[in-house]
Amino acid sequence: MSDRDAATFEMTRNEARVVIAALADEEMTASGDRGMRLQNVQDHLAAEFDFDEHRGVEKGEMAAEDDEGWLDNDSIFGGNDPDDTETVELARAEATAVTDALAAFELDETHENAGTAENVRERIADAFDS
């Protein structure tokens, strides 16, 4: 990555789910600033794509929970197109944390979304190189 402080790139709703899953995996072993940075990016993506962290029964049974423990608010109202796209901006430190988490996620052969993780990781790196 170059010396740019921040960069923007496009991300689909489905890709955001994969990134959140990768960050959650990485966050389990992270501590201090890195753990906080991973959580901040998860929160940022959740806000962009209207996901809420699953909090148990107070959300009600109407909401459909995805595999990563996040609720997709659009699914309640009949939305939820996995190809919906948002422009996401990440600071350099955030991008580094995300690309590291995605690289680790790609190496875990149990994840069927390794290809998606690789694609997003490369697009983030490219956004900083341009």
CB 117 within 8 A of CB 111: yes
pLDDT at 126 over 70: yes
What are 62-113's pLDDT values in tens digits? 333 344 444 444 444 445 566 789 999 999 999 999 999 999 999 886 778 8
Place of tokens 């190496």: 107
Q: Which residues of 47-80 are buried (b: 16+ CB within 10 A; e: fewer)?
A: eebbbeeeeeeeeeeeeeebebebbbbbbeeeeb
* Mean pLDDT estimate for the chain: 78
Domain ranges of the chain: 6-129
Per-residue tokens: 60: 């009600």
Q: 59 pLDDT exceeds 70?
A: no
Confidence (pLDDT) at 108? 81
